[in-house]
């Protein structure tokens, strides 16, 4: 066991040795001594080969050739588990170094560092407040087949990581240390016996639950911590202003259960079920926190008076009270009951009920209690609502165009819509958007599968808005967008189901030529009175997505990145010219070729003006597991990204001030 005085490399070696020894013991118990010996021979030969021993390479090859299929299977299992455990040790080392740097006041790329840098550059509290109004960052979780770990494996790995953290940070006595090692061995044994991959194909709802695992177990708490960190730093550097009104500048969204582009398994029923699962997950988190608060808010009424704001929570008959002299607890019982019965139509009502309790505590000598667990729950409710995160609905623009073509032919509007010049397509679409006559057929089953699919999708959006509120699905994205007609088609569909004022219509430009054309496409739309009217209802904000993977496949890595940069700069200029705030949505993958890499460095390289209207970034399956399995690593990721966004926005503000 390492101590705080040990060097970082010594502590890392100790962690690797501990986890490796425990795994070795489990292999001997589960597979036998001969299997363990084989693993050791392979490991030692591989190590020797890396050190330049040429004979070790041949010996390793001969050794593998002689093994049976069963032995190969055991080898694969041993080393896959070993590398997972080593990853935990390396994560612990990274966290260890970060914490030491923070203790020594040497940690860079932090929220406090960005705020201090802006103050040192001349920012006043008022300018900082204006800059923060522009700060909008959303990470969008997406499913990805390259993440194959089962949730059961992730939970076990997280348990092991938490035990390793406890081992280092707590001053354990010998018996506690022995018990912790026994618990580690128990978890590793269970890990060994747990099937590493699924024995059946992953379903969409499996992917939904995979994403929700990270949201409910890590992301929600870490985001609240980030807001606390933001607030503390602002109060430290700009104490002359009250910063308690921080807006929702950091949020999460999801494509999982909403992205139907090329995935026939994402049906309207699946999307609605996803929204219900998210709502249930949110309620479960809040109920757990509320039940914890019942044990915390035990103040007796005679010592911590409650204001008249709480009287509405108390039953008319005092005999109905569970806590007759503890009205704060009684108020929580009332809120829990409403939440269990799903009686809150929106998160604002839940927030207001909790806020009444906080206000009462603050007014009655309970400011510390009001600013503790209850305030953190209030932040959580405000940031994640009753749906946790909004879904985006993505579909291929070509499929949408096919549906329009079929309907226009059936109505006698245009026999060959797909072959018409782009200007003529736009003219027909605008006419239909402004036509009070329905465009969707009363009986879609009289048409082909494409029309049925499109009608059901958009009717589902309207149904979801009615059931869960308009924030549950707040963006529709058309992949492979090329022309203004691709965007107008979505506006037509939104108008057909009555959601045109409640949803962002976002093109996704992916190919190199489409990225080149994107600024002209958006200018054409902005000059169209019908589309301009839609943007007025959306606070003159336009979401535009740019794709990294397809542009890289289309033009190569260097050409792709150059055209992506140019597109961002030109799109920002085009939007500025029409008084439109642009939210650029970066469709990044996990690998470098698909736009992956450190998100903060990518942001620092963006055109400064491209962040004024906010930024959205996809987090794909394998990246989700890496960034959000550990709270400390998740927190560090968000610190670095927010640091980058604020510094870039600060440059935008400075440029603007200099120009005026």
Catalytic sites, residue numbers: 144, 553
Burial class (CB in 10 A: 0-12, 13-18, 19+), 178: exposed
Rounded to 5 degrees, what angle do the CA atoms 151, 157, 158 make? 90
Three-class SS state of 247:
coil
What DSSP assignment string belongs to 371-420?
TTHHHHHHHHHHHHTTTSSPEEEEEEHHHHHHHHHHHHHHTTS-TTGGGS
Phi, psi torsion values for 479, nearest 5 degrees: -70, 160
Q: Say how far apart CA 496 and CA 462 lie, in whole Å.
A: 10
Q: Rounded distance, CA 483 to CA 417, Å?
A: 14
Closest CA to 112 of 221, 228, 230, 226: 230
Three-state DSSP class for residue 505: strand
CA distance 257 to 278: 10
Convert 52-90 to b/e letters by CB count within 10 Å (16 or more is b).
eeeebeebbeebeeeeeeebeebbebbeebbebbbebbe
Cα gap 478→399, rounded to integer Å: 9
Q: Radius of gyration over alpha carbons of the chain, in Å? A: 28
d(CA 329, CA 352): 16
Q: Which residue in 218, 153, 213 sits closest to 188, CA to CA?
A: 153
Q: Please say whether the dihedral angle defined by the alpha carbons of residues 552, 556, 561 and 565, taken in this order, is positive or negative.
A: negative
CB 453 within 8 A of CB 363: no
Alpha-carbon span 66 to 46, nearest angstrom: 16
262 backbone φψ class: left, alpha, beta (φ>0; ψ -120 to 50): left
């Amino acid at each position: 066991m390492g101590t705080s005085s040990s060097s970082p490399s010594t502590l890392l070696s100790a962690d690797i040795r501990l986890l490796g020894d425990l795994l070795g013991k489990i292999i001997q118990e589960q597979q036998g001594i001969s299997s363990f010996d084989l693993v050791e021979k392979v490991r030692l030969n591989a190590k020797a080969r890396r050190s330049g021993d040429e004979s070790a390479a041949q010996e390793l090859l001969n050794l593998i050739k002689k093994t049976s299929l069963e032995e190969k299977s055991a080898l694969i299992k041993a080393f896959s588990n070993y590398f997972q455990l080593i990853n935990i040790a390396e994560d612990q080392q990274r966290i260890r170094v970060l914490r030491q740097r923070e203790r020594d006041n040497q940690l860079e790329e932090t929220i406090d560092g960005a705020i201090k840098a802006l103050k040192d550059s001349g920012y006043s509290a008022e300018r900082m407040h204006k800059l923060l109004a522009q700060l909008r960052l959303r990470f969008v979780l997406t499913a990805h087949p390259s993440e194959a770990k089962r949730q059961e494996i992730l939970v076990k790995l997280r348990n092991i990581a938490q035990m390793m953290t406890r081992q280092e940070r707590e001053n354990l006595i010998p018996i506690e240390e022995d018990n912790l090692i026994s618990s580690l061995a128990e978890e590793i044994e269970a890990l060994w016996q747990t099937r590493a991959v699924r024995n059946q194909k992953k379903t969409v709802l499996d992917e939904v639950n995979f994403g929700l695992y990270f949201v409910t177990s890590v992301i929600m708490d870490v985001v609240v911590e980030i807001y606390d960190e933001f607030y503390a730093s602002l109060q430290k550097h700009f104490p002359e202003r009250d910063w308690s009104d921080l807006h929702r500048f950091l949020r999460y969204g999801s494509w999982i259960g909403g992205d139907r582009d090329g995935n026939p398994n994402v049906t309207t029923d699946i999307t609605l079920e996803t929204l219900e699962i998210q709502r249930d997950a949110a309620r479960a988190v809040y109920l757990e926190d509320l039940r914890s608060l019942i044990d915390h808010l035990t103040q007796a009424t005679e010592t911590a008076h409650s204001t008249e704001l709480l009287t509405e929570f108390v039953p008319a008959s005092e005999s109905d009270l569970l806590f007759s002299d503890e009205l704060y607890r009684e108020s929580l019982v009332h809120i829990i009951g409403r939440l269990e019965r799903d009686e809150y139509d929106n998160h604002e009502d839940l927030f207001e009920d909790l806020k009444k309790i906080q206000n009462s505590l603050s007014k009655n000598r309970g400011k510390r209690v009001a600013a503790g667990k209850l305030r953190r729950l209030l932040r959580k409710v405000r940031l994640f609502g009753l749906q946790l995160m909004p879904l985006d609905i993505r579909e291929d623009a070509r499929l949408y165009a096919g549906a329009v073509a079929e309907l226009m032919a059936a109505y006698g509007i245009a026999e060959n819509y797909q072959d018409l010049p782009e200007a003529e397509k736009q003219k027909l679409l605008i006419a239909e958007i402004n036509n009070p006559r329905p465009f969707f057929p009363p009986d879609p089953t009289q048409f082909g599968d494409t029309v049925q699919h499109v009608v059901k999708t958009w009717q589902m959006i309207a149904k979801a808005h009615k059931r869960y509120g308009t924030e549950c699905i707040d963006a529709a994205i058309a992949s492979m967008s090329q022309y203004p007609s691709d965007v107008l088609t979505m506006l037509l569909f939104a108008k057909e189901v009555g959601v045109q004022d409640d949803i962002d219509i976002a093109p996704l430009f992916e190919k190199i030529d489409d990225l080149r054309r994107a600024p002209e496409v958006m200018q054409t739309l902005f000059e169209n009175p019908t589309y301009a009217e839609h943007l007025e209802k959306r606070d003159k904000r336009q979401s535009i997505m740019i794709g990294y993977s397809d542009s890289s496949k289309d033009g190569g890595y260097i050409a792709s990145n150059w055209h992506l940069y140019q597109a961002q700069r030109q799109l920002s200029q085009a939007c500025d010219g029409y008084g439109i705030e642009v939210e650029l949505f970066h469709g990044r993958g996990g690998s470098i070729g698909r736009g992956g890499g450190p998100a903060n460095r990518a942001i620092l390289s963006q055109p400064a003006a491209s962040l004024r209207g906010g930024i959205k970034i996809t987090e794909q399956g394998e990246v989700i597991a890496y960034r959000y399995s550990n709270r400390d690593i998740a927190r560090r990721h968000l610190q670095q990204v927010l640091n980058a966004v604020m510094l870039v926005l600060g440059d935008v503000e400075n440029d603007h001030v200099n120009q005026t």
